[in-house]
Amino acid sequence: MSSDGASVIDRLRDPEYTGDNRCWPCTVVNLGIAVAACGTVAVLWVELGAVLFGLSLSAIYLKGYLVPGTPTLTTRYLPEPVLQAFGKGSATPRDPGADREWETVAKVRAHRENAVDVDEFLRDAGVVENGDGKPGRELSVGFRSALWERVDPEAGESAVREGLVTLFDVSPAEITAEDEPYPAFVVDKRVRHWPSESALAVDLAADAILRERSEDWPAVPLEQRLDALGTVRTLTEQCPACGGAVAETSDTVEACCGVHEVVGVQCVDCGERLAELDATTDDAKLTS
């Protein structure tokens, strides 16, 4: 090729995305786009399809990509394993929003793979059993004993925070206490709250016991684990705060969407509340 021809090519070539700087994920993606698009055209007009494919190859060779913005889009949206295969892994800056999108997809996939029947899981783990001569379920003797050895409604702030870190699988920096008359924390940008210190203590104790007894427990999706811990609280028969008996109560609550009935589980002596359930949707947890 003449020097004039070489200089023309050099002027057309984009050094930012060609040569040693070529992004191979971009190249592969754009070649795929070129084959698909030109192949579709070739079905109707073979010659035009061939010409367009040649122009597409030239554009990819000279510019590094065919579709504008491909380098940014490829780095942002291709899965991390694919980028790593081309040497474009975590060392390459990625858009935080895209990382959150992939993280959300991963969480949804993990939920589908690890979802359980909560009641069945609790039975298999020896947490609940059929009541002896009574309808419904109750905590097993062994789990109830372990729970009362572990539960501590007067645990200090550091112990509570440590338990929350384990329960939600987050860093301490992702937990912020809210100024409320009941236990409330912002965990990973979402507010989590309990009706009392005793309710929180039961959840943390039950979570710790289940982690020791069941290797499958940490893999159960978070919301299902919280649902299971809530079930433990509804079946509690003794108040962690004063040792009094626990019973169901019925209250009428007025909210923005109207008036509805709430079934509570609380101590008959000191009034410490362990659970609050919507009577129209959650009553089955108390009676099943």
Q: What is the pLDDT of residues 104-118, one digit of tens each?
A: 555 556 556 668 899
Kindly state whether residues 227 and 102 are assigned to the same domain. Answer: no
Query: Given this model, what pLDDT does residue 268 score?
Result: 92
Q: How far is 211 from 203, CA to CA, in rounded Å?
A: 12
Closest residue by Cα to residue 54 from 68, 35, 80: 35
Angle, helix 222-234 to helix 197-213, in steps of 10 degrees: 120
Band of pLDDT at residue 284, cut at 50, 70 and 90: very low
Kindly state whether residues 84 and 120 are assigned to the same domain. Answer: no
- Which of 110, 143, 171 is a domain's end point? 110
Q: Burial-class residue 91 by CB neighbours within 10 Å (0-12, 13-18, 19+).
A: exposed
Average pLDDT over residues 246-263: 63
Q: Are 267 and 246 in contact (CB under 8 A)?
A: yes
Q: How far is 270 from 15, CA to CA, in rounded Å?
A: 75
Q: Is the pLDDT of residue 212 over 70?
A: yes
Per cent of the chain over pLDDT 90 is: 42
Q: How far is 286 from 288, CA to CA, in rounded Å?
A: 6
| Count of the separate structural domains present in the chain | 2
Dig out the tokens for 116 from the structure: 């359980």
Band of pLDDT at residue 11, cut at 50, 70 and 90: low
What is the total residue count of the chain? 288
Q: Are 163 and 206 in contact (CB under 8 A)?
A: no
Kindly state whether residues 223 and 256 are assigned to the same domain. Answer: yes
Query: Given this model, what pLDDT does residue 246 score?
Result: 92
Band of pLDDT at residue 56, cut at 50, 70 and 90: confident
Kindly state whether residues 26 and 166 are assigned to the same domain. Answer: no
Kindly state whether residues 202 and 132 are assigned to the same domain. Answer: yes
Q: Is the pLDDT of residue 231 over 60?
A: yes
Query: Given this model, what pLDDT does residue 269 score?
Result: 93
Kindly state whether residues 58 and 167 are assigned to the same domain. Answer: no
More confident residue, 15 or 208: 208
Closest residue by Cα to residue 235 from 155, 159, 154, 123: 123
Q: Are 205 and 167 in contact (CB under 8 A)?
A: no
Average pLDDT over residues 244-264: 67
Average pLDDT over residues 215-223: 93
Kindly state whether residues 187 and 282 are assigned to the same domain. Answer: yes
Q: What is the pLDDT of residues 120-155, one digit of tens each?
A: 999 999 999 876 555 468 999 999 999 999 999 999
Dig out the tokens for 53 from the structure: 């494919």
Q: How far is 144 from 140, CA to CA, in rounded Å?
A: 6
More confident residue, 16 or 270: 270
- Which of 59, 93, 110 is a domain's end point? 110
Q: Are 49 and 58 in contact (CB under 8 A)?
A: no
Q: Is the pLDDT of residue 93 over 50?
A: no
Query: Given this model, what pLDDT does residue 240 score?
Result: 93
Q: How far is 225 from 216, CA to CA, in rounded Å?
A: 11
Kindly state whether residues 106 and 131 are assigned to the same domain. Answer: no
Q: What is the pLDDT of residues 33-44, one digit of tens each?
A: 888 888 888 888
- Which of 59, 81, 110 is a domain's end point? 110
Per cent of the chain over pLDDT 70 is: 64
Q: Are 164 and 204 in contact (CB under 8 A)?
A: yes
Kindly state whether residues 167 and 81 are assigned to the same domain. Answer: no
More confident residue, 31 or 18: 31
Average pLDDT over residues 268-277: 90
Strand order in the sheet with 258-267: 246-255, 258-267, 273-278
Band of pLDDT at residue 257, cut at 50, 70 and 90: very low
Q: Are 144 and 127 in contact (CB under 8 A)?
A: no
Residues of the domain holding 41: 3-110
Kindly state whether residues 239 and 149 are assigned to the same domain. Answer: yes
Query: Given this model, what pLDDT does residue 86 score?
Result: 46
Kindly state whether residues 154 and 248 are assigned to the same domain. Answer: yes
Q: What is the pLDDT of residues 169-201, one digit of tens each?
A: 999 999 999 999 999 999 988 899 999 999 999
The runs of H, that is alpha helices, within 13-95 are 24-44, 46-63, 70-77, 80-85
